[in-house]
Structures are given as C-alpha cells and as structure tokens.
Amino acid sequence: MDKEQLVSQAREIKQRAYAPYSKFPVGAALLMKDGRVFTGVNVENVSFGATNCAERTAIFTAITEGYHKGDFAEIAVNGNTEDFLPPCSICRQVMAEFFEPDMPVHLTNDKNEIRTLALKELLPMAFTDLDM
C-alpha cells in the first residue's frame, strides 16, 4: 500500500469522528507490517480529558487485535486544516511506545498534500523505556 492510499483511508474514516464540541474531525489510518490497516477517529467527551484522538484509537485497536510493539509500519493523519496536521503530544508519546523511531508519519492538509516525517522528527528526545 502506498502513502496516498493510506492517507485516503484516513480522509474517509474522518467522517465517522465524534466531534460535537470542537467541530474538528480527525481520521487516522495505521498500516501494520503484515499489510493490515487499522483506522481510528477522534471521539470527544464533554469532559475534554476523556477525549481520545484518532491516532490513539487506531493504535489501541491494533493492540487489542493482538499486534505488538514493532508490528507497525506507518501512519497517516488527516483533519480539515490548511497546514499539515501533526499528532498531539499525548499521541506522540504513545507512538514512541509502539513505533520505531524511523517509522513514517504522514501528515496531511486540506489541499491533499502529504508531508512525511519520521517519528523521531516529530518527537525528538522522546521519553522511552531506556529512560527508566
């Protein structure tokens, strides 16, 4: 699967987001090394701390389905933004837990452009198990 197909899945799933408070739907598509794709959307809650982001929804679903650290290949994130939409800091920390530092993270914007960065570029000096 190429990055355009992965981004397309993130863009399509975004329509299922539950974002009544922010009105900011986000979709994510997570490609596993075996070719399976997990999608996720942001799910808001009136208690904003209980909100879950699209990226974490996809990651947690993959873990629930039996995947492990090291099984992840790349992820695409899509929202309705003029600039490239990066994952929030909480999502970046979860990514650091499960993704390899060189794993591609595809950021998109509403012009259908894609910017690909390695996780280590999004989260330099990540807090990892090596720090414990």
Tell me the pLDDT band of 127, cut-offs 50, 70 and 90: confident
* CATH (domain of 49): 3.40.140.10
Active-site annotation holds for 55: yes
Q: Which of 4, 12, 44, 55 is catalytic?
A: 55
32-70 pLDDT, tens per residue? 999 999 999 999 999 988 999 999 999 999 999 999 999
What's the structural domain count of the chain?
A: 1
Q: Which residues are annotated as a binding site?
A: 53, 88, 91
Q: What share of the chain is helix, strand, coil (3-state, %, to 5)?
A: 35, 25, 40
Supply the range of the domain harboring residue 99: 3-127
b/e map 58-69, b = 16+ CB within 10 Å: bbeebeeeebee
Residue 23 belongs to some domain of the structure: yes
Alpha-carbon distance of 38 to 43, in angstroms, equals 16
Model confidence, pTM:
0.94
